[in-house]
Amino acid sequence: MNGIIEISLFLLCLITLAPVLGNYFEKVFTGKKNLMSGVLLKIETRTYKLAGINPENESNWRTYTFDLLLFNFIGLVVVFVLQQIQSFLPVNPANQVNVSWHSALNTAVSFVTNTNWQGYAGETTMSYLTQMLALTVQNFVSAATGIAVLVALIKGISGKTTTNLGNFWVDLIRSTYYILLPLSIILAFALVTQGVIQNFNSYHIVHTLNGSEQLIPGGPAASQIAIKQLGTNGGGFFNANSAHPFENPTPFSNFLQVLSILLIPAALPFMFGKMTGNLKQGWTLFLTMLILFILGLALSLYSEYSTVIQGHALMEGKETRFGIAGSVLWSTVTTVASNGSVNAMHDSLSPLSGMVAMFNIMLGEIIFGGVGSGLYGMILFVILTVFIAGLMVGRTPEFMGKKIEAFEVQMSIIGILIPSFCILIFSAIATVSPVGLSGLNNKGPHGYSEILYAFTSASGNNGSAFAGLNANTVFFNLSTAFCMLAGRFGVIIPVLAIAGSLAKKKITPVSEGTFRTDTSLFVGLLIGVILIVGGLTFFPALSLGPVVEHLLMNNGIVF
């Protein structure tokens, strides 16, 4: 009963807050007076002057893409270097040593791509300075990059015969100043009231009741946790991530964090509707995401509650503070939202729940998804859907008054296929190579699922893991780093190319021959295309892992 109340309250808060935030976001990116402009407008203006940015200068999609790639490359280098020299820098009370080159490279790629995949334990690897300057900063700007790409796509869709998509630096700064920073400050204060730590204390050694020693870490955790959730990043300050009592101490802190993960992604469809002048289209996209989310959550809950081992509910790997419902809600939210945080071990989920988590990511992190990236990924499927619908009814495919032609369809297919290619190819390589199999703790279909999940998480820029796999090796650090880069920028570049192509086109007025994309019929068609594409691509791989494991478990064979 408590689980039903928690999930119902979560959905109520999400559906209520998303349109309000979406309206605020639209004001931010259209330059209208908003709730924070009185406080932040002067700071924003001074930032442009200090950085030598002319906010009035707009760029085409190629310049926009170049600026984005340059900024992210610089960020990658900075994060890598900070890890390589952290032992010589201040604010390192635990005297952490420099990180190995392959782990540092993997982490740099991970945080720059908004993945936050972690092959290390935070409290025994990273200094406080590295946590703040490298990881927390990237939590902000990687999330802001995703929002900026979405804003450029919206301008491309709503623009009329222009080559301009706006200014990347303006979109980046406004995303950070007006959205991510204020919300993070509010959430950080709320988390501190629940007992989430925020300090610079050295680690303490204490003696337990049985006489053994235990290391108690400290650190500025609340500030990083707030943005890791709001920015759909997910990287834990501590190794246990959001299962750690210093990161997530109470059921209420758990509720605040899981709500904050979907808050911005759920608001962006409404921003899309407002900025394009078709709020109904925004609701259509939001409802598509919500229905897919509820379907996955329902299947995952059914699997967990119906799986009984020796007369007991499946509580392995779960926190008693949060229970089954709180753990399953978290696993579903994070895997639809490109957020790698965990409050229970995904490796201990029932096979079907683990499959839901994997499939959520395999669909391209489009069910709400990462901030910005979820919606622009969904638009790729929208373009594919209107193309298929046009073939079915013999009409020219259109979306928001713009004709969808060969170039847009080709770019959409590339953006959808690149992460899928990385998942399947690298999983295959790992399962037939000694270096890929050496880190497994389990054999059989569950061990295969651990490998499949790792490359799914990396390619989908999620960051969570089936923790039974030791991925902090040269092979996994380099291969997952490649998948993270391909999964991020292999989608961003086609999206910006689509934005540039659509911006040049005229807007065709709605007529009787227009196939509308803001109706319940289109919601059903879009969901069908998403599930069919996902099923055809990944069912063979899933059938060898979680599906087989589920069937064997029902016959008393476990791994």
Contact criterion met (CB below 8 Å) for 480 and 451:
no
Quick one: average pLDDT of 383-397? Answer: 87
Render pLDDT for 145-187 as a digit per residue (tens, 0 to 9). 999 999 999 999 998 888 999 999 999 999 999 999 999 999 9
Q: What are phi and psi of 112, to 5 degrees?
A: -70, -35
Check whether 415 has a pLDDT greater than 90.
yes
What value does the mean pLDDT of the chain take?
Answer: 92
Domain spans in the chain, listed from the N-terminal domain onward: 372-553
At 236-266, the pLDDT tens digits run: 888 888 999 999 999 999 999 999 999 999 9
Tell me the H-state helices in 86-220.
101-112, 122-125, 128-129, 137-158, 168-174, 181-193
Residue 559 has what pLDDT?
64
Residue 60 has pLDDT above 90, yes or no: yes
> Is residue 454 packed enough to be buried (19+ CB in 10 Å), middle (13-18) or exposed (0-12)?
buried
DSSP string of 324-377, one letter each residue: HHHHHHHHHHHHHTT----SS-GGGS-HHHHHHHHHHHHTTSTTTTSTTHHHHH
Residue 154 Cα distances to 121, 239, 288, 547, angstroms? 39, 38, 18, 39
Say if strands 213-216 and 308-309 run parallel, antiparallel, or are unpaired: unpaired
In this prediction the pTM is: 0.94
Bridge pairing between strands 312-313 and 308-309: antiparallel
With vertex at residue 295, the alpha carbon angle to CA 292 and CA 297, rounded to the nearest 5 degrees, is 110
Residues 6+ apart with CB under 8 A from 304: 313, 314, 324, 327, 328, 349, 350, 353
The amino acid that residue 75 corresponds to is G
What is the model's pLDDT at position 310?
58
Cα atoms in the Cβ-side hemisphere of radius 13 Å centred on 165: 30
Q: What is the pLDDT of residue 555?
A: 79
